[in-house]
Chain A
């Protein structure tokens, strides 16, 4: 609600105005003279004041002056009596907004008030507009400055050279990049260099033609045009130029050129080439074969190592050969499947997989293969395989085995020599007893001596057989047979000897033991060795003991044969020696070859032999044979 101040000395006029104006929706303040009116004005600051001109004391003109003094935007409407036109004009000169005559008509009053309100509204709008405009200008200026700075910086600090020239060829922009390329400072360039001086002779004209011509990006533009610039020092430098014409109001005003220093590009290019060559060489000269194929199986990399393994040249392999041709039938498919599976080194990888390569000549070469899938942006693009030629490894392996065998033979020879000496010792003593028996005619001594000789003859023949068996390197002949039958044979053979020493020989056979492909003779001698050892694990004066020979079948482990005795057992030290050294614990009775032979035969069957023993409690040998 708009406030209105009415100042009039006549109470009737005040009342009339208040009633009228209040009914029109104004909040009406009243005062009966100038001073009290001004007091209210300064306190309540009404935008519109109605004042009588003729008042005792302070008149309306003075009120107007003081109001305007206080607030020049306040609208003052003066109320004049008849014939007070001079005062009214005076009031208008003092920026009264209007005057109305007494007696006050409603129409005159509302017109005056409307005008006053309009003036207030216009002034307010004008003020708002002015304020907005200032803000707008301020924002715009800041933005422009920022933009200019940014563009300036962009231009100045661009790695590329940026040069602009006007239509006459005078340079107007020359950035740091251009300084680097051309060798001029910006000041030099802008003050004294013509655009044609930046190029070898004729090149600037050529470039201009190119910009206007349709090639390299269309008329008015030039994109990635390889050319040369001329430096301050008179040298030419390769650059890559893009240029565009600038227009203002439809008029061509300038040409801007962007220069890429090709030395850098060339250097990067060279670096890339070097790097590529390096990697290429790495791949090419790797001792391992490296072969890559695309998802369709087409060979895309075939290095020297691969050439060595396969016998194909890289040209042959890369001229459309499929990776499937590098393996025996079905193998490539299998390798692919394994690479995708988790089984060998995780999905997408294959680690140390033993396979065979099919060479150009159709030979099969043992290889150790690792492979990996290559992805580019999530898409499988190739499979790379690394091949180790296992021929060399296999050859070294067999050499190693051979040398180990020779070392073992050396140890065996020492053991054998020891055995032979013991046997000869017995024979000599025996022969001496025979001599003495004959000499003194002692039949008993003669018999004992001869007995000793005979026993030692048996020993040496057994030893010879053992040696042959141990030295044999050709693989055993395997046939399907019943292991339980072999156990039975051995036990029957040894039963008598066990009985002599009062040893119980127990058999515990698992009827579910299947027929197994083995070298029956070999397994027979293994068991015979173990049972013989078990019997000899008891002192000759033994008062009885037990040997249990058992068989067992487990689906996972295969067949398990066990020979367990309750004899004297072995120390930890001895347990190690019985397999590692050809060593006999039996003096002249043993050849020291029994357990090594047993172990050798079991290993040839892909099985294992294990010993558990405790001194004075007994020993237990366990043979595990795969099904």
Chain B
């Protein structure tokens, strides 16, 4: 049974300033709405608690993907299709292209947005592991001003974020990798399209003189929120490509996960498969 239409309201602010004034004027009352690919699903299932929505989709201030110094800056309304079609994203962030292609199918990718994927805060979303792997930073905006938060400090727990009721994600800034880079993205689902991840792992490694000079690994579907695999990273950092401590990294990865049993997979499956995916990533890394 769907939500009750007569209870719902959706307003279309004419500018970002107007949208922020509505959010700060009645904190917690208005739910930001962009592509609707998550909120409408919950509404159609009759499980959406929110009834008053703020349609951000027309706000030009939140659109676009632009080079900005050492970063690529994604407006929070950048769609998955915008990401998969953008030349600079292909050039610098192949994991983000793969994440965008792995999200739903084309009709979802045309509507769903990067900002929405972040603030919907599903642990199973496909772009967050890549954003974690690339060291992304979020720019939040409110009537009080702007502030930046490192993305790996943004998710605080299941659907809990460092985001006040009057704030919106304005932009996602991702530093462009320099030097010799290795990129890896793997989503395990029931099929290639339209599947929600059982397990997702994205990694970015900067290689200097044959050693792992910098690396970040992002995980999806194995914790209450998207998380970095800090223990596995620590086991690998500084190591040589010719002598990667695969078993130690796999063992360390267990401490990075707190998976649950649900309709998509068991906790045991998630632990084992995430370790296997890490092993696959390290075999590819050893061969670069």
Chains A and B form a bound pair? no
